[in-house]
């Protein structure tokens, strides 16, 4: 992931096909390794599926293999299946884990917010019980924490590049056909014209607000919007609430090595994904 997000000097001279930093070469090696891994997974699953007593587990791979055997008009061949898995793996892992890491970092930097969130969980879930998917709608403060984390730390700060299919005019500004467009979700989430004290982590701003991250409110678009909105949104939202709720309900947390909330490093590092420059290191204390 890190290699994919590095600025490549050679991209400024597309005709010359330069790869002075060796980024393209290293990415090609990693890409081949991933494809070999997917090939192995596919072979193993296809072998299992050939057995008479195989019971389908209806996971992503099983469904793709079923579709590929149904002779659909658009041929879903082995190569396409591997690329679909690659897209999902790339899109799913780094985004969800880094959002969770940012949320925990913000909570440890803002002990009052953490305390409020734990209070809500204690009241709704009860001590000793595990957070379940059905509880999420009853946890407005936890939901507000997830939104506030995504406002300040969108996993793809510039979303994914888009290309104008036709000339478009927006507020008398003409975008010619073929232009590559980058949408700065990071800057939108911190725009002082739109957000009060934008740099403060303040989940309360989402309490009693209808605003959500599903692409309808253009002030908060961590998953993008429109036809290419993140297809993993429903899964990501569920996983984030469950994991974050579970972590703060089941454990107390402290920062390691005498780091205080005030001295916690919250800098991010440049790349395709918005990651913490210094990984968060925290210690769980059993409740
Ligand atoms: C916190 C978690 C996540 C965030 C913030 C996130 C964000 C995004 C964003 C911003 C885009 C580009 C949308 C655009 O440019 O308009 C995207 C695309 C995508 N995401 Fe996610 N994502 C997350 C989790 C997931 C998960 C869990 C999956 C899969 C299970 C996934 C799969 C994908 C795929 C396949 C695309 C490409 C879609 C396309 O090209 O049309 N994402 N995601």
Using the mean position of ligand 1's atoms as its centre, give its distance from the Cα of residue 233 in Å.
7
Q: What is the pLDDT of residue 72?
A: 61
Q: Which residues line ligand 1 (CB under 6 A)?
A: 87-88, 91-92, 95-96, 99, 155-156, 159-160, 222-224, 228-232, 235-236
Q: What is the pLDDT of residue 287?
A: 65
Q: How far apart are the first and last CA of the chain?
A: 36
Q: Which CATH architecture has domain 92-286?
A: Orthogonal Bundle (1.10)
Give domain limits for the chain: 1-76, 92-286
Q: Exposed (0-12), middle (13-18) or buried (19+): which is 49, by Cβ within 10 Å?
A: middle
Using the mean position of ligand 1's atoms as its centre, give its distance from the Cα of residue 81 in Å.
17
- The residue assigned the tokens 């919250």 is 266
CB 95 within 8 A of CB 233: no
Contacts of 7 (CB under 8 A, 6+ apart): 270
Please give the Cα distance from 276 to 152 (Å, whole number): 12
Ligand 1 atom at minimum distance from 98 CA: 1
220-234 pLDDT per residue, tens? 999 999 999 999 999
230 annotated as ligand-binding: yes
Give the SS3 label for residue 175: strand
122-172 pLDDT per residue, tens? 999 999 899 999 999 999 999 999 999 999 999 999 999 999 999 999 889
Rounded to 5 degrees, φ, ψ at 163 are -130, 130
Ligand 1 atom at minimum distance from 225 CA: 16
């Amino acid at each position: 992931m890190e290699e994919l997000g590095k600025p490549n000097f050679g991209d400024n001279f597309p005709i010359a096909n330069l790869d002075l930093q060796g980024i393209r070469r290293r990415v090609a090696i990693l890409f081949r390794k991933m494809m070999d891994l997917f090939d192995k997974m596919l072979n193993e699953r296809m072998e299992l599926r050939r057995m008479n007593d195989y019971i389908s587990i209806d996971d992503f791979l099983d469904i793709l293999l079923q579709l590929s055997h149904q002779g659909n008009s658009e041929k879903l061949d082995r190569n396409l299946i591997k690329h679909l898995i690659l897209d999902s793996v790339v899109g799913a892992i780094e985004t969800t884990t880094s959002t969770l890491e940012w949320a925990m970092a913000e909570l440890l930097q803002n002990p009052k917010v953490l305390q409020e969130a734990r209070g809500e969980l204690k009241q709704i879930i009860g001590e000793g019980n595990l957070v379940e998917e059905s509880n999420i709608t009853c946890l407005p403060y936890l939901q507000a924490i997830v939104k506030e984390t995504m406002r300040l730390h969108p996993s793809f700060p510039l979303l994914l590049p888009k290309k104008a299919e036709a000339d478009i005019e927006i507020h008398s500004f003409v975008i010619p056909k073929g232009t590559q467009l980058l949408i700065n979700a990071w800057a939108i989430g911190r725009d002082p014209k739109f957000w009060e004290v934008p740099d403060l982590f303040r989940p309360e701003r989402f309490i009693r607000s209808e605003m959500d991250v599903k692409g309808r409110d253009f002030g908060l678009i961590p998953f993008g919007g429109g036809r290419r909105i993140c297809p993993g949104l429903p899964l990501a939202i569920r996983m984030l609430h469950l994991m974050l709720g579970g972590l703060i309900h089941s454990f107390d947390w402290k920062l390691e090595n005498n780091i205080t909330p005030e001295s916690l490093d919250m800098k991010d590092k440049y790349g395709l994904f918005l990651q913490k420059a210094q990984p968060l290191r925290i210690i769980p204390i059993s409740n």
